[in-house]
Amino acid sequence: MKTTLITGANRGIGLEFSRNMPQMAGVFLACSRNPGKSDELNKLAAQYPELIKIRLLMSLIMRRLSALGTVR
């Protein structure tokens, strides 16, 4: 299954991409610096819980870097 990552998904063009993603195939990670305050994005994720996964952007990046062994 295809997975798409959208940065800045809580407003502007990122939110518009997020609104259009459920019509496309796959799952997408909607990333935001403050997902708890992303009301519109959270409502959208509640409508499509199997397709939209909201993630805190910095924790996702740090986890990846840590897995590569570049961050301690």
pLDDT at residue 68 is higher than 80: no
Report the number of distinct structural domains present in the chain. 1
- pLDDT tens sequence across 1-56: 788 888 889 899 999 999 988 888 788 888 888 888 889 999 999 999 988 888 87
- Residue 5, H or E segment: strand 3-6
Question: Going by C-beta distance under 8 Å and a sequence separation of 6 or more, which residues neighbour residue 64?
Answer: none
Range of the domain at 53: 3-68
Assign 71 a pLDDT band (cuts: 50, 70, 90). Answer: very low
pTM greater than 0.85 (yes/no):
no
